Amino acid sequence: MNATFTRFDHSQADDWQEIDAHFRDYREGVVERVIAHLLRLEGDTHGYPVDRYTHCLQTATRAERAGADEETVVCALLHDIGDDLAPDNHAEIAAAILEPFVDPLNLWMIRHHELFQGYHYRHFYGLDRHARDDYRDHPAYARTVRFCDEWDQTSFDPDYDTLTLAHFRPALERVLGRPPFDGAGLPEVRDE
Ligand SMILES: [Fe+2]
């Protein structure tokens, strides 16, 4: 059943109860949709040695093998998921997906990884490779440098023993299955 209003200012509580039930079902499927989107990165390498799907898996594999915690591994898995939808601003897509579920420092790391990764190529474009040093005093600086230097920029190796998506799926389900926004939970519709 759908809500009966045609504009929000005519809506009633029972409309929102109906919509809320749909929403709760829909958000349960977010892992499937995130995986479907990761799979869209498979195929075209855009000139790189591996496609972005492999790159994401490999970055997560390196993070896990280095002993990173599960949340950080999931951040690594999703960090470039926005490459096809926002090629000029891709980090924001991963940040938006992860924001309700991860530590603010990990969120900052994902949001800024593009600039930090640039240490390894910006000079080839005549840009300042040290631009990330402007953030040297930020509490997430060290983890973002590590993420890029040890796991992200190294993960373009077609011969690396990269773990499969199936390996990471349980971790993805656990992190995206957390109560959003530090346990604040979803508001309930009130019948008044
Ligand atoms: Fe990357």
> Which residues are found with C-beta within 5 Å of the ion, ligand 1?
80, 152
pLDDT band at 17 (very low <50, low <70, confident <90, very high): very high
Model confidence at 192: pLDDT above 90 = no
What is the distance in A from the centroid of ligand 1 to the CA of 108? Answer: 15
User: Cβ distance 105 to 139 under 8 Å?
Assistant: yes
114: DSSP letter: H
Closest Cα to residue 188, out of 4, 2, 19?
Answer: 19
Closest Cα to residue 75, out of 110, 27, 122, 34?
Answer: 110
CA distance 177 to 171: 9
What is the distance in A from the centroid of ligand 1 to the CA of 106? Answer: 15
pTM: 0.94
